[in-house]
Amino acid sequence: MDTLSNSLAAADMAHTLHPNTNLRAHEAQGPMVIQRGEGIRVFDDKGKEYIEGLAGLWSVGAGFSQKRLADVAYQQMLKLPYYHTFTHKSNEPSIRLAEKLAEITPGPLTRAFFTSSGSEANDTIVKMVWYRSNAMGRPEKKKFLARTKAYHGITIASGSLTGLPVNHRDFDLPAIPVRHLTCPHYWRFGQEGESEAVFTERLLAELEAVIAEEGADTIAAFIGEPLMAAGGVMPPPAGYWEGVERICRANDILLVADEVICGFGRLGTPFGCQKYGFTPDIMTLSKQITSSYMPLAAVMISDHVYAPIADNSAKVGVFGHGFTASGHPVSTAVGLENLAIMEEQDWAGNAARLEAQFQGGLRSFADHPLVGEARGDGLIGALELVADKATKRPFETVGAVGRMAAVIGHDEGLIFRAIGDQLALCPPMIVTADDVDEIMTRMGRTLARLTDAAHKEGLL
């Protein structure tokens, strides 16, 4: 095992370029090689067990080693391992999945366009919206509104919508016309003496002011995650989404819900927009659509969005956009079976039933000297670590304490994501009450060790 582990690590360090990684640091420390998974747990190449507290990357809803998904993929591989959906071609799994998504998504969403990732899906939305504006004789209506700290992907267009500096710096992004509004995180961005209700009013006033400044006739769409996840797990303030929808409707601005992380039960409702009371014109789906067993994403659109696009494709002869793997039969077959499992196991109901226990467990750490805020909704949450609780002052070297916490967490058998100094949890949707207790126990041991370790490293 040690020989194999050393060989794998050496090969990885020599040949693999890792995403979202300090590449020089990786050359020195090497990878954690995960060899297998079972339920909510994974095991590394040395046999060590971990609770996967982030469900991979916010995505393995069904847990690991779900045999039904493997069997469906195998049978589809034997029957039709690949086909495309260009020029009137199709396949049964992609047809059935599109039909199912139209059935279960809220509001008037009736049509699905399939891609392989959320980044591709949001890139597609940008192109669709631009195409639609041109089709309607509004060539100036191209701008997007997004939020600071948003995450919408990493390709050129979707990376531009993302509002995280690390994803922009030295990539020459944003590269499309986009305005990033104030992050709707009351604890961090509320002003002194400002109530949550007044904070919401201020953000909605900002939205109206930006629309007036830019001109509503130049703004095509507002895109947002119902709960902002990869930027640090930030639920919106009360009344925020209802206000955003009202303002968008009044100004003929399309509303895009990026449900890549919030969708399929994560917040205790089937989709995040239902949790916060708004109805989108366009929805992005990925990750838990297949529990990430196969790469798949979907753009769901309403007939209101579809009609001008379809009319223009007839006018010019083609809707000139698509991917080799759009509607891949193996991916869509796995997605269809995954949604059957989701319904049988009642993922949204499980999240709703466990929400008080999960969120209460996180909030039990609020008195820890390093925890500034414990927050979340449903089965997603985070602890934000700070240098000074009273002033919410962050650490001088942002991310150093978070990285140390992640290392200690691994030692304690818990994988979570350190987003700077925010420790994010998003366990598989099959998590049980006993699992939640064990996650919080391991997080507690991690925090108990963190203060002393950070002092020894000179981080406090």
d(C-alpha 276, C-alpha 317), whole Å: 40
Q: Are residues 339 and 372 in the same domain?
A: no
pTM confidence score: 0.96
Helices (H), 80-195: 92-104, 118-135, 156-161, 165-168, 186-189
> Would 3 be classed as within a structural domain?
no
Residue 52 · residue 438 · CB < 8 Å: no
- Determine the 3-state secondary structure of 21 from DSSP: coil
> Would 369 be classed as within a structural domain?
yes
Q: Are residues 293 and 169 in the same domain?
A: yes
Q: What is the pLDDT of residues 372-425, one digit of tens each?
A: 999 999 999 999 999 999 999 999 999 999 999 999 999 999 999 999 999 999
Q: Are residues 214 and 359 in the same domain?
A: no
The domain boundary, picked from 345, 369, 396, lies at: 345
**Regions of the chain where pLDDT drops below 70:** 1-2, 4
Q: What share of the chain is helix, strand, coil (3-state, %, to 5)?
A: 45, 15, 40
Residue 293: which domain range? 68-345
The domain boundary, picked from 345, 367, 399, lies at: 345
Instruction: Produce one character per residue of 34-70: b if its CB has 16 or more CB atoms within 10 Å, e if not.
Output: beebebbbbebbeeeebbbbbbbebbbbbbbebeebe
Whichever domain contains 208, its CATH number is 3.40.640.10
Confidence (pLDDT) at 5: 73
Helices (H), 215-363: 240-250, 272-276, 303-316, 329-345, 347-363
Q: Are residues 37 and 95 in the same domain?
A: no
Listed in sequence order, the residues at least 6 apart from 332 whose beta carbon sits closer than 8 Å to its beta carbon are 91, 93, 94, 96, 97, 114, 296
Confidence (pLDDT) at 225: 98
- Determine the 3-state secondary structure of 383 from DSSP: strand
Phi, psi values for residue 280, rounded to 5°: -85, 160
Confidence (pLDDT) at 4: 67
% of the chain exceeding 90 in pLDDT: 96
> Would 26 be classed as within a structural domain?
no
Q: Are residues 277 and 187 in the same domain?
A: yes
Residue type, 145: L
Whichever domain contains 375, its CATH number is 3.90.1150.10
> Would 5 be classed as within a structural domain?
no
Q: Are residues 292 and 364 in the same domain?
A: no
Query: How many independent structural domains does the chain possess?
Result: 2
Q: Are residues 49 and 94 in the same domain?
A: no
Confidence (pLDDT) at 61: 98
Q: How many CB atoms lie within 10 A of CB 367?
A: 9
Q: How many CB atoms lie within 10 A of CB 168?
A: 16
> Would 2 be classed as within a structural domain?
no
Confidence (pLDDT) at 367: 95
The domain boundary, picked from 345, 374, 389, lies at: 345
> Would 15 be classed as within a structural domain?
no
Q: Are residues 52 and 195 in the same domain?
A: no
Q: How many CB atoms lie within 10 A of CB 2?
A: 8
Residue 223 · residue 232 · CB < 8 Å: no
Q: Are residues 316 and 356 in the same domain?
A: no
Listed in sequence order, the residues at least 6 apart from 388 whose beta carbon sits closer than 8 Å to its beta carbon are none
Q: Are residues 177 and 318 in the same domain?
A: yes
Q: What is the pLDDT of residues 284-306, one digit of tens each?
A: 999 999 999 999 999 999 999 99
Q: Are residues 307 and 252 in the same domain?
A: yes
Does the N-terminal peptide bond of residue 295 adopt cis geometry, omega within 30 degrees of 0? Answer: no
> Would 17 be classed as within a structural domain?
no
Q: Are residues 281 and 405 in the same domain?
A: no
